Structure 1
Amino acid sequence: MSRLKLFRVLLLAVFLVVGIWYFFIKDYNYKVTFSISQSPGIIYNSLIQWNNGEIPNNKVVTTLNQTPFNEVNQNLFLGDSVLKINWSLKKKNDSTTIVTAKFKDEKNSFKQNLQVPFYNNVFVNQSISAVKNFSKTLIQNKKNYKLSGVTHAKIPPQNYAYITLQSSLNDKASVMVRNIPTIMNYIKDNNIQLAGNPFVEITNWNVEKDSIKFNFCFPIEKRESYPETYQVLFKQTKEKEALKVVFNGNYKISHMAWYQIIDYAKTNNINTDNLPVEFFLNDPHAGGNDLEWLAEIYVGIID
């Protein structure tokens, strides 16, 4: 066989393999990638809440499944069209994450594979628009809070009264507010002196189900005993090594600090219990600029 014929055969084989991969194996029709200076955890949390700019009552994005902090699969409903989106998150460096969105039109996949390389059809424009919407959401969300760098610190010892609660991450603050009277009425009725700022200790965090169990805690004066109650419990804790971030912003989104600490721990091979403790240094009822509210967020280090 001459070299020319061999070259043609090899070229045909390459085209055949590429064609089979492109039309029958590749699991997406169009891909968009961008970088942003946010941690994978914060981006993941935003994806789970994302609704393509629509109001909550008009649900156009459904999350199918997810791998926390790494991948999210969703359906985006646009009129009669349904776009399947695979989002993947990969750290580029300490401050930057690469976000990749793979789009597929399952009803017209072959057609999209034919058209996408040659011009921006409706499907391509819808895909680009969705990514732009999400990236703008990330940028806008970041304006609502400030995070310090991660430092090594110690969770201070505490003597406190607490009640046990559970909620989703986004509902944590509202659940706390509704239950303040339960614990504060007990403290006031029994003339117990407060001894510090209220705080929350997370006892269970199910990332995939977006649910937490936590103790809502109020430091109190030490006594030999306290009047019995079936709602309010008491506890003492010792000082504990931890990673710490100072958070400024509305306490409804204080969990943004959790993701930064966990990302730092993973990057630096530090074992943590992934059970944040939040100390609230401002009274939200006093109002004011949310960005002036201060909280100290800790995640315990495991030896």
Structure 2
Amino acid sequence: MKIRKKIIIGLSISLSVFLVWYLFVKEADYCISFKAKTATGTVFQGIQEWSATQSKSNNEHYTIIEKRNFDLIKQEMKTANSEFEYTWELNAINDSVTKVNVGIKETSHSLYNRITAPFFSTNFKVEQLKKVKDLKSGLEEHLKKFKVKIEGEGVSKEVFVAYLPLKSVLQEKAQNMIMTDSDITGFLYQNKIAIIDKPYVEITNWDLDKETIDFNYCFPIAKNTKIIPNDLVKFKTIPAMKGLKATYYGNFRTSDRAWFALLDYAKKHDIKLKLLPLEQFLANPFNGGEELSWETKIIIPFETK
């Protein structure tokens, strides 16, 4: 009887501790998990883009209160009547699969949601499941529009280029290239400088927290080209570099999806990279055509000691 009593007391204490934790300590009222067949950075960007869309279409106002590239986003979301917290945790299973866990808390009805969520299909539970399902569906549609092939270690070639130094938020890299394309190609044409290969983008600074980049929009030219001083167009040699390589197929606006896949690959294989990707665009988007046939070669150099 004493042993039985001890067992009952032990179970009661364990249950009590669990209930106190679940009802009053645990951060989320309800948790939802799913897998996405892409890199963590792509999911990270997708959550932010989905939030912006929700703000415009559903009168929901999202504010990022904490983020850690590329595995955590904590948001506050306000509507006319409610306030929620979303904590998104992203874990790379490999370079092409991400496990997504989202913890959801409704500030004004937290205790009620914790009690009812495991047992009943409340409005809170149904609405949150629909939100996450919509995000997942939108992400899956986006993934149909590009492909990334990891090629492993490789070396880029040395190339002499004319270039424009530019700055941008990460998502607007391609728009900046398009807007300035006539500046550099017009200069080269006027000065009878021949473009001898497909254009490059050389990232010179990538601020992960601000999601901004400094980059050079480059056109390969002959090494013996006479340098003509210009306020906009500059000249340089991009040296050969060793690093991790990938081929990206899709619209150039989202070529950073290959960067994210390379970063996850490097993390899983304990490879240190310098976050300065180099891209060469092998298709001309001005010619149109099927975007999945547009090919971009990408290398991210190894970190050197």
Q: Which moved more, 1:85-94 or 1:242-251?
A: 85-94
Q: Does the 8 A contact of 1:150 with 1:264 survive in 2?
A: no
| Superposition pairs of residues 1-303 of structure 1, within 5 angstroms | 2-51=2-51, 54=54, 56=56, 60=60, 61-77=62-78, 80-93=81-94, 95-223=96-224, 225-303=226-304
Can you give the 5+ residue segments of structure 1 that lack an aligned partner in the other structure?
none
Q: Does the 8 A contact of 1:53 with 1:133 survive in 2?
A: no
TM-score, normalised with respect to structure 1: 0.93
Q: Does the 8 A contact of 1:150 with 1:261 survive in 2?
A: no
Residue 194 of structure 1: CA displacement? 1.2
The amino acid across from 1:242 in the alignment is: G
Residue 78 of structure 1: CA displacement? 5.1
> Separation in 1 of the partners of 2:19 and 2:276?
49
The amino acid across from 2:81 in the alignment is: D
Can you give the 5+ residue segments of structure 2 that lack an aligned partner in the other structure?
none
> Separation in 1 of the partners of 2:52 and 2:7?
49
Percent of residue pairs identical: 29
String of CA shifts for 1:150-173, please: whole Å, max 9, x gaps: 332211111111111111111111
> Separation in 1 of the partners of 2:288 and 2:199?
17
String of CA shifts for 1:5-56, please: whole Å, max 9, x gaps: 4344333322321221111111111111112222212211212222386475
Query: Helix, strand or coil for the counterpart of 2:204?
Result: strand
The amino acid across from 1:301 in the alignment is: F
The amino acid across from 2:44 in the alignment is: Y
Distance of aligned partners of 1:56 and 1:222 in 2 relative to their CA distance in 1, 3 Å threshold:
farther
Q: Does the 8 A contact of 2:38 with 2:95 survive in 1?
A: no
> Separation in 1 of the partners of 2:59 and 2:251?
25
> Separation in 1 of the partners of 2:55 and 2:26?
34
The amino acid across from 1:177 in the alignment is: I
Q: Does the 8 A contact of 2:94 with 2:268 survive in 1?
A: no
Distance of aligned partners of 1:11 and 1:240 in 2 relative to their CA distance in 1, 3 Å threshold:
closer
> Separation in 2 of the partners of 1:234 and 1:260?
31
Residue 70 of structure 1: CA displacement? 0.9
Q: Does the 8 A contact of 1:87 with 1:100 survive in 2?
A: yes
Greater helix share, structure number: 2
Q: Does the 8 A contact of 1:52 with 1:133 survive in 2?
A: no
Q: Does the 8 A contact of 1:199 with 1:277 survive in 2?
A: yes
The amino acid across from 2:172 in the alignment is: D
> Separation in 2 of the partners of 1:229 and 1:240?
28
> Separation in 2 of the partners of 1:154 and 1:55?
43
The amino acid across from 1:133 in the alignment is: D
> Separation in 2 of the partners of 1:222 and 1:52?
46
Distance of aligned partners of 1:218 and 1:57 in 2 relative to their CA distance in 1, 3 Å threshold:
farther
Residue 94 of structure 1: CA displacement? 5.0
The amino acid across from 2:6 in the alignment is: L
> Separation in 1 of the partners of 2:135 and 2:265?
24
> Separation in 2 of the partners of 1:30 and 1:55?
22
Distance of aligned partners of 1:101 and 1:191 in 2 relative to their CA distance in 1, 3 Å threshold:
same
Q: Does the 8 A contact of 1:33 with 1:99 survive in 2?
A: yes
> Separation in 2 of the partners of 1:47 and 1:176?
25
Query: Helix, strand or coil for the counterpart of 2:127?
Result: helix
The amino acid across from 2:23 in the alignment is: F
Provide runs of 4+ in structure 1 moved above 6 Å.
none
The amino acid across from 1:32 in the alignment is: I
The amino acid across from 2:109 in the alignment is: N
C-alpha RMSD of the superposition: 2.0
Residue 250 of structure 1: CA displacement? 0.8
